Structure 1
């Protein structure tokens, strides 16, 4: 039943949100969405799943015999991760700019083939230094997936559709993290010493092989962007509709058309990006938020168990127990991505939740370290804290969706560079952050890292507040411009009319 003021009830909103194909404004829009959902998300999610499977399998291999076989010492595992991160950082902006010169249908699969080959080569190494060189180039190849996909998603989906798709995409990477432990455990028990190869070497071979069919699939079906797609499964009318759905206001459309005629590789463009509040606001947001994921991305639970002060764990336990962290991350990511879509794009609420989580989980681990919990329950408290910390993964989908929402009125190349800059800034900091605060030699307690996490979480809450103010102010400004172009003032529009504008593309 609708409220007395004429606004739809929560029940009606839920029905519209989850069963929205009958609420489309354009005939056939629901069918178009189903098509692009299937082909875009299958390619991107499979790619990201394999991307993360490759990244996390290094840690799985480390605790499954690679450390002893190759003679790792000190923080060499962190140094390898830093080599990967340096390559990953260097590839961010160039890879997203490349999407404006090379079709995504060609570029994404080509990079997958490159990293698949490098993954298989890793099986032949004999020293940690060999892996450092391989992972550097692997970082460059894998840098194309995350920010490139967020650029593609922002090109195809409206503001009310974007969060869920970003969440599904991000969850696929976490699935790679989670399943990687089970895969390594299974390979270790079934293939260790087969044909003279250790189980951890077989892991890299198998990981590389299964990437190749996905690359071929992407080359066959990926739809590029709405303005240039020529895929066989979309009709001409659906291609036109794809462009129409994400069209911005007429004045901004004209401005964007003029700006797109210019090459992005110019000092004018660089000054425009670096002089914008979106660049500094969202890059710094992800620099801070990216480090709130440190407990999970640095596999601290696995290192805690590997270096446990009293208990000894089997290889299978070392691989299986940490899989609960990405499992929690998957649930959290999908929940918050869907929730913030339903609430009209209020992505900022995730910033406050993550800040609270970072503080609480750090305090729990410090309490266990200093004997402030019941004797004998220290391990349970630490494991609970690391599992809870997995919810922080929710910020990946929601914060990149937030950036896409805020820059929807900007030209595509501007948006792609800022999205790439977000990941560039985060990984540039993480290249040294993980060594300073979460080095493998600091296991099992990572005391310095606990205090760093508390400080980072407080900073995230403050930055979220400031950025939410800026995005609201911009939204009001764009609304005034749009209303002026429509020939009416914001004050002259009824609330129901403005609500309808904001939810016309609900999904």
Structure 2
């Protein structure tokens, strides 16, 4: 009974000081709503090229050879290049200006794509589109780490990640509806309307962010936060976390000699490749190439949606559980290691049994949980580091993962390896073992750093608590 009472108290939200629960409700309402809408729109704009390609763009623009692959590679290059600069920009510019500006840029570029007349034009656009869209994922994790404590962060990171998975699930249906309803309207092909509508969707979201996004605790001027709530938001985070050091050679040396950079970048590179087992649509490729079963078009589209659905459930479960347990994010590393080894072994040894293969691929979708929890873990471990250092490490995590994944897919999960993906199964097992070992190493480093930190202050300092309580009584 004590456990359930504790969990119920956690769900309702425990107040360290009076008014904290109200503050959390406010920042949840405005930060999460904007970031999730932004991420959903980001996924729509990112995925619309492939949908347009199979909806008439290939024929109308006379695509040749591997030009589609080149365009996707160009986007990935822009996305990788933009990671660190965009996150550093958030430490110089107000987030309620930067995020909407990036949205308007990528929305405008998406709409401009509707006017192209050859694949080369799309290549140029997609590079800058990647630069603009690189701000959303890592930028949101930086902002979440600025507002929430280790007992709150995982659940919020999970909700944000789930919005992207929802975009993966439902984006195709939205794109298909646009194609069917507007094809030929005003003399424009449906695929051109696809880019126009997707671009227009970003405008109201950007306006909403410009008006109501609260920036960071030390810079916020949000009209819905009182002066007492702003003071409380600052008191909830360590003083060192709000420090902004200059960008110089000393800073660069500090980044590249720190265990945080190597530890979390390599962690996410390994974890990202366990996640690629699901994100590269292996189940759909298995079904398409199955020698024993012939699946209908609707089955090919519908059955694989169960993978991100499992990912959403797993993400929210583990994000909430690790929050409830006080930030034990490392548990997810071991869970994913077990999942990767077992599911790969199931496919390798029971390939002739369709039900077993389906079960393995669905279970493998649970590895999506690493996305929210590992970025939350990085934020937790770097709470006493300065903002710019933390922003670079978070951005470098995603940059490193994308850089490796660009060639990892071709090496282990190329379409011509379907339906068995034997090399990919062994790669998954290897990554899972490496993930368990690397997770253990980071635990050792974080514990050592925790013990060596002298004079560590509590999350909300006694003087701050007293001041906030007195201010609240006066109000």
TM-score w.r.t. length of structure 2: 0.88
Q: Determine the structure 1 residue equivalent to 2:35.
A: 44
Q: Determine the structure 1 residue equivalent to 2:409.
A: 434
Query: 3-state DSSP class of the match of 2:169?
Result: helix
Mapped to 2, the partners of 1:122 and 1:360 lie a distance apart of 44
**Residue 449 in 1 paired to residue 428 in 2?**
no
Q: Determine the structure 2 residue equivalent to 1:481.
A: 455
Mapped to 2, the partners of 1:407 and 1:295 lie a distance apart of 29
Mapped to 2, the partners of 1:402 and 1:470 lie a distance apart of 13
- Superposed CA deviations along residues 405-439 of structure 1, whole A, max 9, x for unmatched, are 00001111111111111111111112222233233
Match of 1:278 among 251, 260, 276: 260
TM-score w.r.t. length of structure 1: 0.83
CA shift, 1:269, in A, is 0.5
Match of 1:340 among 308, 322, 335: 322
CA shift, 1:455, in A, is 1.7
Change (3 A) 1:84 1:222: same
Q: Determine the structure 2 residue equivalent to 1:269.
A: 251
- Superposed CA deviations along residues 369-418 of structure 1, whole A, max 9, x for unmatched, are xxx424xx3xx444433322221111111000000000001111111111
- Superposed CA deviations along residues 231-260 of structure 1, whole A, max 9, x for unmatched, are 111111111111011135xxxx4xx67x63
Q: Determine the structure 2 residue equivalent to 1:53.
A: 44
Does the aligned pair in 1 maintain the 2:238–2:383 contact within 8 Å? no
Q: Determine the structure 2 residue equivalent to 1:93.
A: 84
Q: 1:229-268 to 2 correspondence within 5 Å?
A: 229-248=220-239, 253=240, 260=244, 262-263=245-246, 265-268=247-250
Moved more, 131-140 or 117-126: 117-126
Q: 1:396-411 to 2 correspondence within 5 Å?
A: 396-411=371-386
- Superposed CA deviations along residues 296-325 of structure 1, whole A, max 9, x for unmatched, are 332333444455556665655444333222
Does the aligned pair in 1 maintain the 2:91–2:387 contact within 8 Å? no
CA shift, 1:471, in A, is 1.4
Q: Determine the structure 1 residue equivalent to 2:3.
A: 10
CA shift, 1:357, in A, is 2.0
Q: How many residues align?
A: 458
Query: 3-state DSSP class of the match of 2:154?
Result: helix
Mapped to 2, the partners of 1:295 and 1:362 lie a distance apart of 9
**Residue 422 in 1 paired to residue 397 in 2?**
yes
Query: 3-state DSSP class of the match of 1:481?
Result: coil
**Residue 137 in 1 paired to residue 128 in 2?**
yes
Mapped to 2, the partners of 1:441 and 1:83 lie a distance apart of 23
Q: Structure 2 unaligned segments of length 5 or more: list them.
A: 459-475
CA shift, 1:102, in A, is 1.3
Change (3 A) 1:392 1:197: farther
CA shift, 1:68, in A, is 6.2
Q: Determine the structure 2 residue equivalent to 1:151.
A: 142
What is the RMSD computed on CA atoms of the aligned residues?
2.6
Match of 2:18 among 27, 36, 53: 27
Does the aligned pair in 1 maintain the 2:161–2:371 contact within 8 Å? yes
Does the aligned pair in 2 maintain the 1:185–1:316 contact within 8 Å? no
Mapped to 1, the partners of 2:321 and 2:114 lie a distance apart of 42
Mapped to 1, the partners of 2:92 and 2:450 lie a distance apart of 31
Change (3 A) 1:17 1:163: same
Q: Determine the structure 2 residue equivalent to 1:213.
A: 204
CA shift, 1:211, in A, is 1.3
Mapped to 2, the partners of 1:134 and 1:303 lie a distance apart of 29
- Superposed CA deviations along residues 274-293 of structure 1, whole A, max 9, x for unmatched, are 11111110010011111111
- Superposed CA deviations along residues 24-75 of structure 1, whole A, max 9, x for unmatched, are 1222111111111101111111101111222233344455555666666666
Query: 3-state DSSP class of the match of 1:408?
Result: coil
Moved more, 69-78 or 287-296: 69-78
Moved more, 114-123 or 104-113: 114-123
Mapped to 2, the partners of 1:316 and 1:64 lie a distance apart of 16
Does the aligned pair in 2 maintain the 1:192–1:198 contact within 8 Å? yes
Q: Structure 1 unaligned segments of length 5 or more: list them.
A: 2-8, 485-507
Q: Determine the structure 2 residue equivalent to 1:115.
A: 106
Q: Determine the structure 1 residue equivalent to 2:464.
A: none
- Superposed CA deviations along residues 445-470 of structure 1, whole A, max 9, x for unmatched, are 44433332222222111111111121
Mapped to 1, the partners of 2:62 and 2:363 lie a distance apart of 33
Q: Determine the structure 1 residue equivalent to 2:195.
A: 204
Q: Determine the structure 2 residue equivalent to 1:322.
A: 304
